[in-house]
Structure 1
Amino acid sequence: MQHGHDMLFRALADPTRRAIFERLCRDGEQTVGALTAQAGVSQPAVSKHLGILKLAGLVRDRQSGRQTHYHAERAALAPLADWTGRMTGFWESRFDELEDLLTRMDQ
């Protein structure tokens, strides 16, 4: 089984999945049919992408009659925000060290 963070990164690595997730974030809950109409891929492909997003915890679904409605779980992005924050801090410190080194070399 993949680590949860790996699932999150893999799910968002695909541009179609990112677009579906972004649309759910922007426009709110959608049916598979509504998502398919604007996804540029077939309904089975959209369903497969939604399944991967669901496994990563990025979307949730609810049944309403014969329709399945999906909505974004924005809180699932927290590990991504944490990781990018750590990486930002890491690289900022490295650039500061490089700047200090270059300043010492100029003296």
Structure 2
Amino acid sequence: MSIFTDMIPAELLINEYKKGQSGAKHDNYVSVGRIMVAIYKNNSFKNTGTVKYQDSTHSGITMSKVFIDGKEYRIDIDTQHYEVQDFDTSGRQTTLILKRIDLYG
């Protein structure tokens, strides 16, 4: 099984906060572009010490290097939505820690 055969097209969104009429910040996700990403479900038997990994539901790999520290990202694949909780761009590929979210329920 190859990572490249598992890669599927996805929409990468960045959260650019928008002020409402009351002055409160609201989420405003803007498209960065399309990326190819491979997403895998986390193994529940793997014991890790980080809270981010324990809260995540999936992990992913992409060749895209557009991720910037301090920004919030979301990946949309058709009807599936993933919040990017952490990423590491230091290697050849960018590794992602993802949490699947339900936008309509």
Question: What TM-score do the two structures reach when normalised by structure 1?
Answer: 0.31
Q: Which has the larger radius of gyration?
A: 1
Greater per-residue helix proportion: 1
Question: What TM-score do the two structures reach when normalised by structure 2?
Answer: 0.31
